[in-house]
Chain A
Amino acid sequence: MAEPFLMRALLAGLGLAVVAAPLGCFVVWRRMAYYGETMAQAGLIGIAAGLALSLNLTASVLAVTLAVSVLLVVLSRQQVVPFDTLLGLLAHAALAVGVIAASLVRGPQLDLMAFLFGDIFAITRADLQWIYVGGAVALGALVFVWRPLLALSVHEELAAAEGVATERVKLIFVLVLALVVAIAIKIVGVLLTIAFLIMPAAAARPLSETPEQMALFAAIFGALSVAIGLFLSISFDTPGGPSIVLMLAVFFAVSILPSVLKGRR
């Protein structure tokens, strides 16, 4: 069991689970699931650019996720096209550009699957450094803005009237989101990254009484899914990232069931 590649996969997955849990809660609370999805899919352009220019892939993905959030701010100034349409449009345009660019760079032998769904068993020591250093920065920033970000997620106008610098806090949040998405893409790929953010948080919601509890339960669900998912992946030779996401879906299904039966809450 203690194969180095497996240890690295486990460390990567657990590190990501801890960072993704509180961030994912805010993605759920702020209704930004599709926003994160758009960022992640655009990450493929970053991968293609990184491959073409021989850059660090996480760094080039980060550059693209940041560029996409700026682009979204600019595009949302018009009101003729609704924001969710804009997100859908941008996500798929980015995916198309990314796939085309990646195959132009590498030719037909490119393993696109590894970028779309991640390759957790190919995590290197350098990747682990990105995950832990980047993750610590993201987590620190999130703890720093926790209170004002929570206040404005509950009621933005009330928070602003009480003196929260809403625009600055929202900017920090988007930067943290871009950073974590860039880190996660290497592990779970552009198509599963957002699942890793929102699924643990969603599974934690029915069990939680406070925001902090929800973040904690999300971290536990995330970590358990990583451990069980990797075990299943090794045992049955299934792909790593999808196996983890499948476990997250199982946790969510079990957690939400009583609320569905009761009809509310």
Chain B
Amino acid sequence: MDGPNAPGAPLLQALTGRTPAHHHHDHDDAHDHHDHAAIPRTHDANALISARGLWLARSGRAILQGVDIDIGAGEIVTLIGPNGAGKTTLVRVLLGLERSDRGAMVRKDGLVIGYVPQRFEVDRAIPLTVERFVALGRRAEAEEIERALTEVGAGALGERQLAELSGGELQRVLLARSLVRSPGLLVLDEPVRGVDYVGEAELYTLIGRLRTERGFGVLLVSHDLHVVMAQSDRVICLNRHVCCSGVPQSVAQHPEYARLFGPQAARAFGLYHHQHDHRHDLAGEPHPQAREPRT
């Protein structure tokens, strides 16, 4: 519990490659009976967002069952889990769009969050240029908007109508809108729906590069570990509670991960990992056996 939450630890683990993924299966009990036990319940004071024991039930279904999560400055945390695991609900709670029934959350003072939602349907009834749309994120100067668009490779799109963009272009524009806010934390909820496989890999590479340049923390929700693994510092595997967490490699080898995603996914991940040197050559190749069916 202490290992992966400490700032800098993921890097150390990645270098030594020895730390196994941490297993958090006993959360329910910990919450119910050991609320005052000091060990796991204190917030990480250095984190951008630190949440402890988040519980949320809707219509009698417990969607979040005692989730702890920390996101540190400059860190890319990937949240994976099967459909219905509560990933989007957790993101909504962290964004303040929904209140958890129990648990506590601390945000760093003055934290600005940039958000890229999972679904974005362009409403053709509203005439809107790309520039104007980006400016809705923050009252920004024209140059700032242009810079944000250029940073995501959408510099030429400024005067186009939002409704004319392709899926990939729209994703970049959404990213530009979050960047124009100068965020301390970027939250992306499965930002690649409707984007092809090459576009998906490019988007993650772009996010990784922006993180290095701007130094913000990133919370990335994904259905699929192996496409994001190269960019992730830490992976949290969620299935209503945190099943396991740690550096990408250790999560991929964790039995809980294999149980959730099936041995096929774990094997495919191993294969992918093995060919890691050739990532760029393979970027355009589909990996049908490794991908979770999207429903």
Q: Are B136 and A150 in contact (CB under 8 A)?
A: yes
> Among the listed A158, A159, A208, which residue makes an inter-chain contact with B127, where contact means beta carbons less than 8 Å apart?
A208
> Among the listed A154, A210, A214, A265, which residue makes an inter-chain contact with B123, where contact means beta carbons less than 8 Å apart?
A154
Q: Are A162 and B128 in contact (CB under 8 A)?
A: no
Q: Are A154 and B96 in contact (CB under 8 A)?
A: no
**Dominant secondary structure of chain B at its interface with chain A:** loop
Question: Residue B95 at the A interface, CB < 8 A?
Answer: yes
Q: Number of contacting residues on B, CB 8 A?
A: 24
> Among the listed A155, A160, A209, A211, which residue makes an inter-chain contact with B120, where contact means beta carbons less than 8 Å apart?
A155
Question: Residue B115 at the A interface, CB < 8 A?
Answer: yes
Q: Are A155 and B117 in contact (CB under 8 A)?
A: yes
- In chain A, positions 214-265 with a C-beta closer than 8 Å to chain B are 214, 265
Q: Are B97 and A154 in contact (CB under 8 A)?
A: no
Minimum CB distance partner of A202 in chain B: B125
- In chain B, positions 166-213 with a C-beta closer than 8 Å to chain A are 177, 181, 187
Question: Residue A28 at the B interface, CB < 8 A?
Answer: yes
Question: Residue A161 at the B interface, CB < 8 A?
Answer: yes
Q: Number of contacting residues on A, CB 8 A?
A: 23
Q: Are B136 and A214 in contact (CB under 8 A)?
A: no
Given A205-B125, A210-B129, A211-B128, are A151 and B136 neighbors across the interface (CB < 8 Å)? yes
Alpha-carbon gap, A157 to B88, bound state (A): 12
Within 8 Å CB of B139, what residues of A? 147
Alpha-carbon gap, A162 to B161, bound state (A): 22
Within 8 Å CB of B124, what residues of A? 265
Nearest Cβ on chain A to B204's Cβ, whole angstroms:
21
Alpha-carbon gap, A205 to B138, bound state (A): 25
Within 8 Å CB of A158, what residues of B? 115, 117, 120, 177
Question: Residue B273 at the A interface, CB < 8 A?
Answer: no
Within 8 Å CB of A160, what residues of B? 95-97
Question: Residue B113 at the A interface, CB < 8 A?
Answer: yes
Question: Residue A130 at the B interface, CB < 8 A?
Answer: no
Q: Are A210 and B96 in contact (CB under 8 A)?
A: no
A residues apposed to B, CB below 8 Å:
28-29, 31, 147, 150-151, 153-155, 157-162, 205, 208-211, 213-214, 265
